[in-house]
Amino acid sequence: MPSSAPTPLPLATLAQELTRFRATRPLVHVLTNEVVQEITANVLLAAGAAPAMIVAQEEVPAFAAIAGAVLINVGTLHSVRLAAMEQAVNAANAAGVPWTLDPVAVGALKYRTDFCRELIRQKPAAIRGNASEIMALAGAGMGGRGVDSTSGSDAALDAARFLAHETGAIVAVTGETDYITDGKTTLATPWGHPIMTQVVGTGCALSALVAAFTAGARNRLDAVASACAMAGMAGQHAQKHSQGPGSFKAAFLDALYHIQPDNLAEISA
Amino acid sequence: MPSSAPTPLPLATLAQELTRFRATRPLVHVLTNEVVQEITANVLLAAGAAPAMIVAQEEVPAFAAIAGAVLINVGTLHSVRLAAMEQAVNAANAAGVPWTLDPVAVGALKYRTDFCRELIRQKPAAIRGNASEIMALAGAGMGGRGVDSTSGSDAALDAARFLAHETGAIVAVTGETDYITDGKTTLATPWGHPIMTQVVGTGCALSALVAAFTAGARNRLDAVASACAMAGMAGQHAQKHSQGPGSFKAAFLDALYHIQPDNLAEISA
Amino acid sequence: MPSSAPTPLPLATLAQELTRFRATRPLVHVLTNEVVQEITANVLLAAGAAPAMIVAQEEVPAFAAIAGAVLINVGTLHSVRLAAMEQAVNAANAAGVPWTLDPVAVGALKYRTDFCRELIRQKPAAIRGNASEIMALAGAGMGGRGVDSTSGSDAALDAARFLAHETGAIVAVTGETDYITDGKTTLATPWGHPIMTQVVGTGCALSALVAAFTAGARNRLDAVASACAMAGMAGQHAQKHSQGPGSFKAAFLDALYHIQPDNLAEISA
């Protein structure tokens, strides 16, 4: 599994992906946790996608099949929602709709860890998590390679490459720097600000944006990296124009709404 | 079914209705979707009503019977919530409490479409939706009249009049201009701004406000139109005082809070 | 049951408690209602705690046992969540983790009233409610003492002392002035602003903050009073820097984030 060192996502690639994304206004079928439904919908709307939270077993299969992309987020997983998620993944796969997994808190809790490990056998298009989630999801497979014993982001990058290789997904491990990998090539995006971790749902909403960018993507690695870059840039810009986590959230949505292919240099400055 | 052309809602009527609404501070029993619960509660509070989200089968019937109005929104309908909604509608009708339906995404999905078509036989006081939802809800009844083949808002207005006539409800079809009809008389309110479609829950919360205005109303047509006008004015005002969808939401709630019978001309300017 | 008159919480005590709280960054297992999940998480994050909403029966017992504190809020109680709450309380008690109850709307609705009266036999660390909730929760036990016949906050204070004595919990009854009592000693905190009642979840989120402050507390009375004081000060400060309930919410979160032991006099001025 040879892999090259991370390289920065070029702004020109982001501009292309953003142009494509805005032109298609993808419909995203969101199955997420109870806490972040509103911010997830608002991030998708502000960025330029169309969210739809459809949860009933009577509706999920038909809707997942016509969506541009599907998001599965296990933050407040319970048995009824789990069954709907399985339906959505099956319907998405049957219809060729890409689906993205956000493995919230996997590793710490066996129920969701078992479920996510089963899910990643179902050909996710993308997986987005923080370092500990990505390491935990990869952990069993990596076995004696000792993920937990090595340090921070390097260990997570190894785990991300392993996961991408095993599942065929683009894996994004986000933190101070975001790494996005297909197992061979790894892109890095440096934007963002630590205040984002003090606002619930910024990570979960990023996963929804990742899903949105996979809709109709020709190059999924570029698409997922562009979603991470867009959110990171908007966050960095918003932090400069706010006074704390409350005003940050409004400024973040405003920035997502105003980012354009021709103002990336300005927003990310 | 003769009907006259739409006429503008007079500001004097809005002022009267707003005075009545603020004086009664209606208690609204809200059964809505997972995504918009917080913004719905905050819109009702800012406008001057008292929201209560009560969902358990052990509590719904007793509470619906003592509420000033009930809202049913099917955005994330599932079987457990559907049963609670049936309880609420039955209890509201038995107690003479007006209830309002928001038929989110009806037409696209059979499960909720069937449910809403059954519900509208239970004497709703009001129905609030966008053009496609109102046309879809009216569609089966209108049969060969060919709603879908005619264009945009005119077709929706015909469908709204038909629905109002068939159900006895005041029907509000909202968009660039809002039309509110009892099947014979139609009022129009021109306020609002397209940015509202980029903030999740503005439409759902408007339906809750419609429900709130039906509580104790002597003239339901004026009451429903006034709710639409109040939200539209607040939205138009907020757009001028914000920089995007994030700051819009805060400004919208602030505007709803500050609208008074004596500053309508200023707010709507 | 002799008890002394309420005394103000000293700022020096608040400073000590805030220092302790920020140093430990407690993990709070939150089982709350559908409406306020996002604001509850954001209040905890802004104040300096780590929220986790874990709801599945497969995960609740294990997680409650490792949390720093547990919150139970019955705002949208239903049978599935009720069972999870019972699991959480049992696991918390077995592990020595303090748990806090927010008895939303108890008194008005029998189902939740019965449940909360059963729960308070399970040794809550704290109970936080408004005057009518605290009086209703104490009501049955106080029997012929006629809580409902006496007036407002004095009656609630008597009920709070009674509840504290009966359950062993610190009881906070919040309103224009907050009273926090262990049944013998009562502290008072005067901060806050009525606009907080026009923003959904400020009370529910305060209960989560109360839970967070009980984690690892040496003096639970000081801890609970400090949570009330912190939220009240932030609210009072935010009201001065906002234009209505929408902008208030952002300013409130910003203020919670910026409160420090060394700027309490300034924030509360």
Q: Is the pLDDT of residue B193 over 90?
A: yes
Chain A residues with beta carbon closer than 8 angstroms to that of C79: none
CA–CA distance, A17 with C26 (Å, rounded to integer): 41
A78 touches chain B (CB under 8 A): no
Residues 6 or more apart from A48 whose CB is under 8 A from it? A21, A22, A25
C54–A34: do the CB atoms touch at under 8 Å? Answer: no
B218 near C CB under 8 A = no
Put simply, whether A200 touches B (Cβ < 8 Å) is no
Interface subset of A 107-166, CB within 8 angstroms of C: 108-112
Neighbours of chain C (3+ CB pairs under 8 A): A, B
Torsion of CA C101, C104, C107, C108, to 10 degrees: -160
pLDDT range class, residue C208, cuts 50, 70, 90: very high
DSSP label of C106: B
Q: Kindly state the tokens that stand for B16.
A: 């009267």
Which of C54, C55, C254 shows the shortest C-beta gap to A246? C254
Cβ neighbours, 10 Å, residue B79: 11
% of chain A surpassing 70 pLDDT: 94
Average pLDDT of span C139-162: 66
From chain C, the residues in CB contact with A76 under 8 A are 53-56
* pLDDT recorded at residue A170: 98
Does residue A78 have a pLDDT over 80?
yes
**Phi, then psi, of C170 in degrees rounded to 5:** -75, 130
Token pair of A252, please? 């973040």
- pLDDT for A231: 98
pLDDT at A139: 86
Residue type, C83: A
Residues of C in Cβ contact (< 8 Å) with B255:
244
B42/C246 Cβ within 8 A = yes
Nearest CA distance, B240 vs chain C (angstrom): 15
Of A38, A55, A251, the CB nearest to B36: A38
> Residue holding tokens 């309002």?
B100
Distance CA B265, CA B87 (A): 42
Nearest CA in chain C to A39: C38
pLDDT score for C153: 63
Percent of chain B with pLDDT over 70: 94
pLDDT, mean over chain C: 94
**pLDDT (0 to 100) of residue A150:** 42
Which of A202, A253, A260 is the best substitution to test chain B (most B C-beta atoms within 10 A)? Answer: A253
**Under 8 Å CB-to-CB from C219, ≥6 apart: which residues?**
none
Digit-coded pLDDT (tens) for A165-215: 999 999 999 998 999 999 999 999 999 999 999 999 999 999 999 999 999
State the ipTM, two decimals.
Answer: 0.95
Q: Mean pLDDT, chain B, as a whole number? A: 94
Are A259 and A233 within 8 A, CB to CB? yes
| pLDDT 10s digits, C115-136 | 999 999 999 999 999 999 999 9
| Contact: B78, A63; criterion CB under 8 Å | no
Pairwise CB contact (< 8 Å): B244 & A252: no
| Interface probe with C: pick from A32, A33, A35, most Cβ of C within 10 Å | A35
Nearest CA to C182 out of C215, C160, C197 is that of C160
User: Binding site for ATP, residues of C?
Assistant: 128, 174
CB nearest to B111's CB, from A52, A59, A253: A59
Phi (first) and psi of residue A10, to 5 degrees: -70, 140
pLDDT mean over B251-262: 98
Residue A158 or residue A153, greater confidence: A158
Q: Which of A38, A78, A130 to mutate to test the interface with C (most CBs of C within 10 A)?
A: A78
| Token pair for C250 | 């952002």
Average pLDDT over residues A102-131: 96
Mean pLDDT value across residues C172-186:
96
Local structure of residue A148 (DSSP, 8 states): G
Name chain A's partners: 3 or more CB pairs within 8 A: B, C
By Cβ distance, the residue of A45, A46, A56 closest to B78 is A56
Q: Nearest C-alpha of chain B: how many angstroms from C243?
A: 6
Nearest CA to A178 out of A3, A2, A49, A6 is that of A6
User: What are the DSSP calls for B190-251, one per residue?
Assistant: ----GGGGGSTTHHHHHHHHHHHHHTT-S-HHHHHHHHHHHHHHHHHHHHHT-SSHHHHHHH
* Chain B residue with minimum CA distance to C76: B54
A53 in a known ligand binding site: yes
Partner residue facing A245 (CB), from C56, C63, C254:
C254
> Are A245 and C57 inside 8 Å of each other by CB?
no
Q: What angle do CA B21, B244, A235 make, to 5 degrees?
A: 125
Nearest CA of chain A to the CA of C37: how many Å? 5
Least confident among B235-249, C36-50, C97-111, C128-142 = C128-142
Rounded Cα–Cα distance for residues B123 and B119 (Å)? 8
Of C77, C79, C200, the CB nearest to B38: C200
Q: Which residues of A244-266 are buried (b: 16+ CB within 10 A; e: fewer)?
A: bbbbbbbbbbbbbbbbebeebee
- Taken in order A7, A11, A12, A16, the sign of the CA dihedral is positive
Indicate if the pLDDT at residue B223 is higher than 80: yes
Instruction: Kindly list the residues from chain B whose CB atom is less than 8 angstroms away from the CB atom of residue C194.
Output: none
Cα(A126)–Cα(A71) distance, rounded to whole angstroms?
A: 9
pLDDT of residue A146: 39
Residues of chain B neighbouring C35 (CB-CB closer than 8 A) = 37-38, 41, 53
Q: Which amino acid is at B215?
A: A
Q: Given this model, what pLDDT does residue B2 score? A: 61
Under an 8 A CB cutoff, do A35 and C34 touch? Answer: no
Of residues C52, C62, C252, nearest to A246 (C-beta): C252
Chain B contact present for A54, CB below 8 A = yes
Inspect the interface and report whether the beta carbons of A246 and C258 lie closer than 8 Å: no
**pLDDT attached to residue A108:** 86
Only one residue has tokens 């969902």, namely B55
**Is the per-residue pLDDT at A141 higher than 50?**
yes
Quickly count: other Cβ atoms within 10 Å of residue C94's Cβ: 11
Binding site, annotated residues of C for substrate: 53, 201
Q: Residue A76 and residue C34: Cα distance in Å, rounded?
A: 12
Distance spanning both ends of chain A, measured CA to CA: 36
Rounded mean pLDDT, A77-81: 97
Chain C residue with Cα closest to A248: C250
Residue B201 assigned ligand-binding role:
yes
**For every residue of chain A, which 3-state class applies, written as one string?**
CCCCCCEECCHHHHHHHHHHHHHHCCEEEEECCCCCHHHHHHHHHHHCCEEECCCCCCCHHHHHHHCCEEEEECCCCCHHHHHHHHHHHHHHHHHCCCEEEECCCECCEHHHHHHHHHHCCCCCCEEEEEHHHHHHHHHHHHHHHCHHHCCHHHHHHHHHHHHHHHHCCEEEEECCCEEEECCCCEEEECCCCHHHHHCCCHHHHHHHHHHHHHCCCCCHHHHHHHHHHHHHHHHHHHHHCCCCHHHHHHHHHHHHHHCCCCCHHHHCC
